[in-house]
Amino acid sequence: MSATLTDNELKELGACVTSIGTPDFPCLISRFCASLCCADTVFLSAFFDDQKPVGLYGNHTDEGQKASLKLYLDVAYVLDPFYLLFRRKRGDQVLSLDEVAPDDFKQSEYYAKFFRDMALTDECGLMLHIEDDAALFFSMGTQAKGARADPTRLNSTKPLISALVRRHWTRLTPANTDGSGRLSAQIDTAFEAFGSSVLSPREGDVLRMILQGHSSKSIAAHFNNSPETIKVHRKRIYTKLAVTSQGELLSMFLTALGKMPPTAEGDPLQFLEAG
């Protein structure tokens, strides 16, 4: 994993994994993306070629900001530099506002109205194309005076976020924006089976708790073992899976999950090796 995640961020990412296929996923993955670029606000929407965008999640509580977002979804989106980027079909990207906006954009009425109404000082975005004519767009904004959204860590973590998002939204159409194409039970089954082809049952139990963000001390308390015993299990797991860190382990799991067909069974590792 190229981005260094804190223990808390690993727990947040683990929560995203276990919420795939549930109504909680859009909120959790949006908040995780916002935290990576130190943003105050996040708004997730679905872009379509021939339909208006659909809002999927936002953490805005101000009624005036909610009204501005409704106006954006109804008509103003056609002026959004990020929507225009979607129409150009440039693939999955993480970009700052400065990278996509025209040279006089910050002098435009659109900028004056929406950035003033939304109390934003800067914005960066994550674009993920799910279909040829549909994409998910995460808009992250800062509100403090002089604050800038930093897309660096978000960009480094993009492959992991993309793998999770594509497990939740296997289809994205105006009639199907809630991710119902992927069942939570299938994700749970894949999670339980991960590593089973090479690990012992107890090692598999420890592996799942590691992925969920538990420390060796926490795992030891759960199994009524000593932390030293859990450290031995962890070392064996890392050796058998040829990884050296919790970050690499999580990256392996998400990559394998991303390559596993939705209806497949067994250890997701087999699809990683096949790919």
Residue 192's CATH number: 3.40.50.2300
Q: What is the pLDDT along the chain (275 residues), one digit of tens a residue?
A: 446 788 888 889 999 998 998 999 999 999 999 999 999 999 999 999 988 999 999 999 889 889 989 988 988 888 889 998 999 999 999 999 889 888 888 887 788 888 888 889 899 999 999 999 999 999 999 988 888 888 999 999 999 999 999 999 988 998 888 875 444 556 668 888 999 999 999 999 999 888 877 788 889 998 999 999 999 999 999 999 999 987 788 778 878 877 887 778 889 898 876 55
Residue 116's CATH number: 3.30.450.80
pTM of the full structure: 0.72
pLDDT of residue 1: 45
User: Could you identify the residue written with the tokens 């260094």?
Assistant: 4
Domain interval for residue 199: 184-274
Q: Show the tokens assigned to 255.
A: 């990559």
State whether 163 and 49 are in the same domain: yes
Distance CA 139, CA 42 (A): 5
Q: Do the domain assignments include residue 239? A: yes
pLDDT of residue 108: 79
Distance CA 217, CA 175 (A): 46
State whether 124 and 191 are in the same domain: no
State whether 191 and 148 are in the same domain: no
β-strands 41-48, 122-131 pairing: unpaired
State whether 70 and 154 are in the same domain: yes
pLDDT of residue 274: 57
State whether 89 and 54 are in the same domain: yes
In angstroms, what CA-CA distances link 218 with 123, 195, 202, 249, 268? 38, 21, 15, 18, 26
Q: Do the domain assignments include residue 106? A: yes
State whether 161 and 192 are in the same domain: no
Q: Do the domain assignments include residue 173? A: no
CB atoms closer than 10 angstroms to residue 217: 12
Phi/psi of residue 48, nearest 5 degrees: -135, 155
Nearest to 182, CA basis, from 123, 226, 139, 130: 130
Task: Give the start-end residues of each E strand in the chain.
Answer: 41-48, 54-58, 93-96, 122-131, 134-142
Total domain count, the chain: 2
Q: Do the domain assignments include residue 121? A: yes
